[in-house]
């Protein structure tokens, strides 16, 4: 197996449906909380260290071969808001379809069979990384990066930001992303011995509140 699989998996063009989601950015722009490059960076940093860290932990543990169904439940307990659970499962289902076509595996089949409505996206991402022969740290990195790519791309469209500025934000956060991925990987290594409770559970009140608000909008550009 090839590390290049990580590039395929993390590529925004990988057909997993993520482009339709802004990761809370549409609501943040509508409220005026994100309005320029600096506030975009603050949003991305906050999301990286909360939702991104949680996703990275789940993905790393799934890539490590931990029980995906137990991880899916752990994702539920870490996602108190109904709209965000629904979106995570929808994204998981879309990723599952692409993953099974790309890296067929019995682990993916098993998860798909037990969660026909979709498992939480980071869990599917981790099982996919495992099927592609990637390491848990690779899965953590892909999940953490995924938590930023959506909002950054969406901000460009919603605010007519310069795409170069948005990309520079992602580049500036690369070091922190590595730290988050390392922390997630370290936590995932403890799951077999200590259970899923050791995985990160960081939450962000505004992402939770606006996630549900956004889901109730009748007209919106992004699905989340």
Partner 1 sequence: MTLTTAKTPAVIPAPAGEPLQADGGSHGRHSTKSAPADPSGVTATAQIRAAHNGRTTTVPLLHNDDPFHLRRLRARGEQARVCVLGAMSAPLGGDRLALDITAGRRARLEVTTAAATIALRGPTTTPATYDVRITVDDDATLHWLPEPLISTRGSTLHQTFTVDLAPTSRLVMREEQLLGRSGEVPGHLTTRLIVRRGGRPLLDQQTAYGYPAPAWDGPAVLGSHRATGQLLLVDPGLGTPQEPHVIDDDPAEGHAVLTPLADPRALIATAVAPAPAQLRHLLDTALAYAYTYETPRPDADGEQ
Indicate which single residue of 19, 20, 37, 46 sits in contact with partner 1 (rule: CB under 8 A): 46
State the greatest distance between any 2 C-alpha atoms of the chain, in Å, as a whole number: 48
Q: Min. distance of Cβ 76 from partner 1 in angstroms? A: 4
CB 65 within 8 A of CB 223: no
> Counting contacts by CB under 8 A, is residue 48 touching partner 1?
yes
> Counting contacts by CB under 8 A, is residue 74 touching partner 1?
yes
Indicate which single residue of 176, 178, 190, 220 sits in contact with partner 1 (rule: CB under 8 A): 176
Indicate which single residue of 12, 15, 76, 167 sits in contact with partner 1 (rule: CB under 8 A): 76
Indicate which single residue of 2, 11, 15, 31 sits in contact with partner 1 (rule: CB under 8 A): 31
**Distances in whole angstroms, Cα of residue 34 to Cα of each of 39, 145, 160:** 5, 19, 12
DSSP 20: G
CA dihedral sign of residues 214, 46, 55, 102:
positive
Indicate which single residue of 98, 156, 186, 202 sits in contact with partner 1 (rule: CB under 8 A): 202
Task: Name which of 74 and 91 has its Cβ closer to partner 1.
Answer: 74
- Tell me how far apart the alpha carbons of residues 31 and 109 are, in angstroms, rounded to a whole number: 41
Q: Min. distance of Cβ 121 from partner 1 in angstroms? A: 15
């Amino acid at each position: 197996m090839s590390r290049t699989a990580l590039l395929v998996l993390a590529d925004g063009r990988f057909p997993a449906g993520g482009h339709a989601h802004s990761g809370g950015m549409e609501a943040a722009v509508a409220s005026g909380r994100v309005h320029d490059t600096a506030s975009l960076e603050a949003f991305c940093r906050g999301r990286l260290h909360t939702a991104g860290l949680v996703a990275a932990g789940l993905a790393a543990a799934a890539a490590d071969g931990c029980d995906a169904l137990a991880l899916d439940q752990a994702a539920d307990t870490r996602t108190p808001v109904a709209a965000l659970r629904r979106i995570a499962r929808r994204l998981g289902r879309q990723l599952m379809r692409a993953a099974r076509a790309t890296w067929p595996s019995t682990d993916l089949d098993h998860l798909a069979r037990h969660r026909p409505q979709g498992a939480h996206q980071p869990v599917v991402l981790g099982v996919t990384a495992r099927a592609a022969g990637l390491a848990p740290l690779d899965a953590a990195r892909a999940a953490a990066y995924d938590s930023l790519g959506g909002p950054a791309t969406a901000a460009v469209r919603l605010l007519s930001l310069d795409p170069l500025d948005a990309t520079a934000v992602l580049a500036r956060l690369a070091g922190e992303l590595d730290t988050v991925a390392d922390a997630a990987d370290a936590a995932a290594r403890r799951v077999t011995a200590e259970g899923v409770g050791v995985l990160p559970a960081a939450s962000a009140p505004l992402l939770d509140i606006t996630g549900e608000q956004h889901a109730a909008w009748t007209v919106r550009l992004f699905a989340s």
